[in-house]
Amino acid sequence: MHGEPPLTGVRILDLSRVVAGPYCTQILSDLGADVWKIEHPDRGDDTRAWGPVMAGDQSAYFLAVNRGKRSLGVDLKSEAGAALIRDLAEHADLVVENFLPGKLESMGLGFDALRARNPRLCLLSITAFGQSGPLADEPGYDLVVQGYGGVMAVTGPTDGAPHRVGLPIVDLSAGIYAATAALAGLRAAERDGVGQRIDVSLFACHLAWLANVGSNALVSGEPTPRYGNAHANVAPYEPVEADDGWMLLAVGNDRQWGRLLGLPGFGGLAQPQWATNDGRVGDRDALIEALAPILRERSRAEWLTDFKAARVPCGPILRPDEALAHPQTAALGMVHRVQHPSAGPLSLVGSPLGFSGTPVAAVTPPPRLGEGGDGLLRDILKLDDDALAGLRSRGAIR
């Protein structure tokens, strides 16, 4: 017997745009929250225009981070539009925004103004570098924060130019941290009867997920080297080449190393200097050089079959399209087919979260600009046709 999604009844006033904020609110929408996506009345969210990959009139980028929401185009700079946001905030549990620090306050939409009639309201701000400090007024571009946060310095070949991570990893991870913070804030408001301001910055999130690389830097006090595709703390743990292409070998401990040595052809690697992980990491170059001719003797498929049988972690290197078409993806139910009113049939990646009693919400298409807005204002503010027409005549809504 399945109940409703876990956040059913939670209302979120979403003033965010581009990636980190919308990704956060998409996670909360998947969990059942009613997300009111407020957009620029003419152009909408910036990512609506981020082609070139389009599904009809919808950009693939926008479709990736905005499913399950209602859209309302509002001119926040107009007094009527700002008043409408304050009215909606009275009925919301959470506001999510990613403006520069102080911008909402300048429009009369800061935390104090929005919670004046709703003491339990939480406001989650997602910024590039936080509310204070020398970089606080800098705009929040994923690429720039990758540079500031350290990941680009350790990504890419050991020599040559640094490489950005191939996904907007800072934006996406900040969205996940923000969703976690939102859940904690909502729980505290439910417990204490009073909301609070929650701050999440892209930069701080990036520093948090430096994990072992950051800890290595703090403990050693030394500049972090670039390892290319190798691992700073484990070896062999990187792409390796068979006779017909590349695959992944991920020997995570000495037991797995012993199982690898038990396979035909690898006995010559049973050298004292490679018996422990520390030894293998310290002599990585020589180890990989010794592995290379063995691995080039057979195909990827043959090696992967043998490695898996010996319980040595390994895998192929799939393109995103191949990963999305993999049988495991289908087994997890991660790709959903939906019908979009203007783009037609669409395939969308769904939520990775699973619950035994309160499933995530059904996957529905991201909204067109303004889609669901009139229904939202009727449902929440009880506005009639005349009131909606008045707002449009004043340019407050699309």
As a residue count, the chain comes to 398
Task: Give the whole-angstrom CA distance, residue 9 versus residue 43.
Answer: 30
Neighbour count for residue 68 (Cβ, 10 Å): 25
Q: Select from 305, 297, 361 the least CA-distant residue to 26.
A: 361
Task: Give the whole-angstrom CA distance, residue 74 versus residue 36.
Answer: 11
Q: What are phi and psi of 64, to 5 degrees?
A: -70, -25
> How do 245-250 and 335-340 pair as beta strands?
unpaired
Q: Select from 195, 204, 15 the least CA-distant residue to 103.
A: 15
Selecting among 14, 93, 142, 171, the annotated active-site residue is 171
Task: Give the whole-angstrom CA distance, residue 103 versus residue 127.
Answer: 11
Residue 337 burial (C-beta neighbours within 10 Å; 0-12, 13-18, 19+): exposed
* Direct distance between the N- and C-terminal alpha carbons of the chain, in angstroms, rounded to an integer: 42
Q: Catalytic: 171?
A: yes
Task: Give the whole-angstrom CA distance, residue 325 versus residue 47.
Answer: 25
**Residue linked to tokens 């609110």:** 25
User: Quick one: three-class SS letters along 154-217?
Assistant: HCCCCCCCCCCCCCCHHHHHHHHHHHHHHHHHHHHHHHHCCCCEEEEEHHHHHHHCCHHHHHHH
H helix runs in 18-78, sequence order: 20-30, 60-64
- Decide: 19 and 168 in contact? Cβ < 8 Å: yes
- Decide: 43 and 49 in contact? Cβ < 8 Å: yes
- Decide: 122 and 70 in contact? Cβ < 8 Å: no
Task: Give the whole-angstrom CA distance, residue 140 versus residue 143.
Answer: 9
Residues annotated as part of the active site:
171
